[in-house]
């Protein structure tokens, strides 16, 4: 007996086509992230090399590093927002927020603790690859040459990129996709955000924190809350990097304990937060959303998705992971050798 075909209404078909087009557009925009970051980074390297060796020059260099990174991420999504919605949007507002002070108390330690733990695990995987003979082309931030430089570096890394990240992924991506599927909106935003950097040490923690921040944004509609979580997480990771560069081996011996405790504390706070807020999100519109099957099919049929995956894989294996050669030494290896020399 032939299987009866599922009846699809004209409205459902249009909805599927719309969702397919949105997925494609968003992922194609994600592809341009690599292009805009390259366009911003190369002039930045040239400009930074012209700065005078002075406290003001060092402060300006650290500040512009964060601004260049953030703008390079935000620009493609801003162009997408203007073309599709004819407006830049006003997402950095608490107009419809439902969060309470207790949400900040629970969410910030949850996201920061889990982010710190995941980044530590990722760094151990990267260290294992280096021990196996591979070189990872990491772009290491400049923390300056003095204590004021390091403090300013931590502040800039914490506050500036988080603003552009939240505007791009929680503000633009999630708000453009959430009416069709909350799950798809959160996952797409997290995937796009995690591949802004081609790095084993950064991609996993950006993916996990992106999922947490997306869920948190849909539950509270408070981009200031997700910004606070993102800023604190970035600030802690920047502090960890500064301590690694300045203290070296003594801090590295404590790092595993600190990150494991942070992850445990973060998990406890997350469980309490999810019990309080309830995991499931509710749709704001009365329109019946597409089924999970239809959403998955629309996503898998998206040309932009496969283009984004292909370029990301290419960047990872041909631009980031380098086969061992005697001539090539990664900046991370150089940094570690300098730390070892100083500690001895």
> Measured between alpha carbons, how far is residue 321 from residues 7, 82, 155, 330 in Å?
49, 36, 30, 10
Task: For residue 123, count other CB atoms closer than 10 A to its CB.
Answer: 20
Q: Which pLDDT score, from 0 to 100, does residue 8 have?
A: 61
Longest CA span, the chain = 82
CA dihedral of residues 42, 68, 213, 269 (deg, nearest 10): 100
Mean pLDDT of the chain: 80
Please compute the mean of the pLDDT values over residues 25-34 and round it to a whole number: 79
Q: Which pLDDT score, from 0 to 100, does residue 48 have?
A: 61
Q: Which pLDDT score, from 0 to 100, does residue 324 have?
A: 62
Picking from 7-16, 17-26, 238-247, 298-307, which range would have the lowest pLDDT averaged per residue? Answer: 7-16
pTM: 0.82
Work out the pLDDT band at 178, boundaries 50, 70, 90: confident
Please compute the mean of the pLDDT values over residues 126-152 and round it to a whole number: 79
- Measured between alpha carbons, how far apart are the two ends of the chain, in Å? 79
> Which of 3-17, 211-225, 307-321 has the highest average model confidence (pLDDT)?
211-225
Residue with the larger pLDDT of the pair 332 and 235: 235
Q: Which pLDDT score, from 0 to 100, does residue 55 have?
A: 67
How many residues are present in the chain? 344
Nearest to 228 by CA among 318, 103, 119: 103
Work out the pLDDT band at 66, boundaries 50, 70, 90: confident
pLDDT greater than 80 at residue 91: no
270 φ, ψ to 5°?
Answer: -65, -45
Q: Which pLDDT score, from 0 to 100, does residue 49 have?
A: 63
pLDDT greater than 80 at residue 222: yes
Q: Which pLDDT score, from 0 to 100, does residue 184 have?
A: 85
> Measured between alpha carbons, how far is residue 10 from residues 14, 15, 177, 288, 292 in Å?
6, 9, 21, 14, 19
Q: Which pLDDT score, from 0 to 100, does residue 344 have?
A: 46
Q: Which pLDDT score, from 0 to 100, does residue 45 have?
A: 60
Residue with the larger pLDDT of the pair 213 and 8: 213
> Which of 54-63, 90-99, 181-190 has the highest average model confidence (pLDDT)?
181-190
Residue with the larger pLDDT of the pair 185 and 140: 185
Work out the pLDDT band at 40, boundaries 50, 70, 90: low
CA dihedral of residues 161, 164, 166, 170 (deg, nearest 10): -140
How far apart are the C-alpha atoms of 22 and 83, rounded to whole Å? 13
Q: Which pLDDT score, from 0 to 100, does residue 286 have?
A: 47
Residue with the larger pLDDT of the pair 302 and 144: 302
């Amino acid at each position: 007996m032939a299987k009866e075909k599922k009846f699809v209404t004209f409205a459902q078909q249009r909805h599927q086509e719309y969702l397919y087009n949105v997925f494609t557009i968003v992922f194609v925009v994600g592809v341009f992230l690599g292009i805009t970051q390259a366009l911003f980074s190369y002039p930045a390297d040239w400009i930074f090399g012209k700065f005078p060796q002075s406290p003001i020059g060092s402060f300006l260099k650290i500040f512009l590093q964060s601004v260049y990174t953030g703008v390079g991420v935000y620009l493609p999504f801003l162009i997408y927002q203007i073309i599709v919605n004819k407006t830049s949007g006003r997402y950095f507002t608490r107009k419809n927020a439902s969060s309470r002070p207790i949400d900040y108390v629970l969410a910030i330690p949850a996201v920061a603790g889990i982010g710190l733990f995941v980044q530590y695990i990722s760094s151990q995987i990267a260290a294992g690859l280096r021990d196996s003979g591979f070189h990872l082309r990491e772009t290491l931030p400049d923390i300056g040459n003095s204590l004021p430089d390091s403090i300013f570096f931590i502040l800039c890394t914490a506050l500036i990129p988080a603003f552009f990240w939240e505007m791009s992924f929680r503000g633009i991506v999630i708000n453009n996709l959430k009416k069709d599927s909350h799950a798809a909106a959160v996952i797409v935003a997290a995937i796009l955000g995690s591949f802004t950097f081609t790095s084993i040490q950064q991609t996993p923690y950006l993916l996990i924190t992106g999922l947490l921040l997306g869920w948190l944004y849909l539950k509270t509609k408070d981009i200031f809350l997700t910004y606070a979580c993102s800023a604190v997480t970035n600030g802690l990771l920047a502090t960890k990097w500064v301590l690694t560069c300045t203290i070296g081996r003594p801090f590295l011996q404590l790092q595993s304990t600190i990150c494991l405790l942070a992850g445990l504390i973060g998990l406890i706070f997350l469980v309490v937060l999810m019990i309080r807020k309830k995991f499931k999100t509710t749709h704001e519109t009365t329109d019946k959303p597409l089924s999970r099957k239809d959403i998955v099919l629309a996503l898998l049929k998206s040309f932009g998705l496969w283009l984004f995956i292909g370029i990301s894989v290419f960047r990872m294996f041909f631009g980031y992971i380098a086969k061992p050669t005697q001539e090539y030494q990664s900046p991370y290896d150089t940094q570690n050798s300098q730390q070892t020399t100083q500690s001895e």
